[in-house]
Amino acid sequence: MKAMVYYGAGDIRFEERAKPAIIEPTDAVIRLTKTTICGTDLGIWKGKNPEIEQTVIQKAGKFNGRILGHEGIGIIEETGSGVKNFKKGDKVIISCVSRCGTCENCQKQLYAHCQNGGGWIMGYMIDGTQAEYVRTPFADNSLYRLPADLNEDVAVLLSDALPTAHEIGVQYGDVKPGDTVAIVGAGPVGMSCLLTAQLYSPSQIIMIDMDDNRLHMARELGATQIINSAKEDAVARVLALTNGRGVDCAMEAVGLSATWDICQRVVKEGGRLANVGVHGQSVNFELEKLWIKNLTITTGLVNANTTGMLLKTCCSGKLPMEKLATHHFHFNELEKAYDVFKHAADQKAMKVIIDY
């Protein structure tokens, strides 16, 4: 089969790989029908996650590449003997988080840290979804049936972007009715924060980015104010919009020092700072200014414990996620799709969907 394979920083190749097979009785093998490229995939490509190579080398003595991708939908091709809830031919949404369901962390719904080889492993510690087939561990706990009436572009976003935004941004940020919210980063996850935050009726949602096209989309999707941080002082503008107080909740949805700085400087006393972005380098944590403000600062990796709920909400039409799917490519054009997503601002790209 064809697959997009990471070999090290700056080195990804669209090449032939062996089709995956069942390894454990709880596995399923799925034929992909749609996948996508996540910002995390770009980060891996750029060398943001060297632990991929280091961990594999420690276990196997050599690194033969890793198939990227952790989002997708498809049709079950084969199931292990231990899979009870799914069968060959079922159309499914693949969760980016695999979970055994029985370990101590899974019993706490801390599925991101499954102790039996689960968590975020697909496209990271095991081969992922940017291929014609993928092996999914713990299939009974890590797949969702694809409703016939659900837009399939939206279904792909339920793999990761939507639950990540809702859980790590909105829930950890404890958004409540009447709150003022600032979201820094208007990419797919930031936009998903914007959409799911509205389920909790905040009074004000300020979207901050450097891309006017994305900010315009944020306005269309419900942002009450937009700020281009390349053209004006974002911190000063947020303070002006909030009578000098700052926001109840600031969400960092990029993973850069500059975006973190905005968040830590606009959250008011008693507020919450929810870090959603994936950071590859240290940031300046201004504790000397923050210690006195009675803040709650949260970090996290998606547990996908709200995916089922969000699936129902998407089916009801209350989350217009389909607007985020701005570009479509055939699977054979995956290299072109990466180039477009890498230059998202120039290409006016939000979420790039790969069709098979």
Neighbours of 245 (CB within 10 A): 15
Identify whether the C-beta of residue 354 lies closer than 8 Å to the C-beta of residue 334.
yes
Lowest mean pLDDT segment, chosen from 52-56, 238-242, 343-347: 52-56
Residues with Cβ within 8 Å of 344's Cβ and at least 6 positions away in sequence, in order, are 187, 211, 350
pLDDT digits (tens, 9 = 90+) for 139-195: 999 999 999 999 999 999 999 999 999 999 999 999 999 999 999 999 999 999 999
Average pLDDT value for residue range 252-274: 98
Return the amino acid letter for 18.
Answer: A
Average pLDDT value for residue range 215-225: 97
pLDDT digits (tens, 9 = 90+) for 36-46: 999 999 999 98
- pLDDT(293) > 90: yes
pLDDT above 70 coverage of the chain, percent: 98
pLDDT at residue 113, rounded to an integer: 98
Per-position DSSP letters for 276-315, written without gaps between them: -S--SS-----HHHHGGG--EEE------TTHHHHHHHHH
Predicted structure pTM score: 0.95
Confidence grade of residue 244 (pLDDT, cut at 50, 70, 90): very high
Mean pLDDT of the chain: 96
pLDDT at residue 52, rounded to an integer: 84
Identify whether the C-beta of residue 311 lies closer than 8 Å to the C-beta of residue 288.
no
pLDDT at residue 69, rounded to an integer: 98
**Per-residue DSSP letter, 108:** T
Q: Which alpha helices (H) appear in 302-353, and where do they start and end?
A: 307-315, 334-342, 344-347
pLDDT digits (tens, 9 = 90+) for 192-213: 999 999 999 999 999 999 999 9
Ranges of each domain in the chain: 2-160+304-355, 164-298
* Distance separating alpha carbons of residues 271 and 230, to the nearest angstrom: 25
Rounded to the nearest 5°, which phi and psi values hold at 109? 60, 25
* Distance separating alpha carbons of residues 184 and 194, to the nearest angstrom: 10
Average pLDDT value for residue range 123-135: 97
Stated as kind and residue range, the H or E segment containing 223 is none
pLDDT at residue 58, rounded to an integer: 65
* Distance separating alpha carbons of residues 306 and 310, to the nearest angstrom: 6
CATH class (in words) of the domain with range 2-160+304-355: alpha beta
Residues in the chain: 356
**Per-residue DSSP letter, 111:** G
Confidence grade of residue 57 (pLDDT, cut at 50, 70, 90): low
pLDDT above 90 coverage of the chain, percent: 92
* Distance separating alpha carbons of residues 130 and 77, to the nearest angstrom: 16
pLDDT digits (tens, 9 = 90+) for 68-112: 999 999 999 999 999 999 999 999 999 999 999 999 999 999 999
- pLDDT(61) > 80: no
CATH of 164-298, one of 3.40.50.10800, 3.30.420.40, 3.90.230.10, 3.40.50.720: 3.40.50.720
β pairing state of 2-8 and 66-67 = antiparallel
- pLDDT(12) > 90: yes
Neighbours of 150 (CB within 10 A): 18
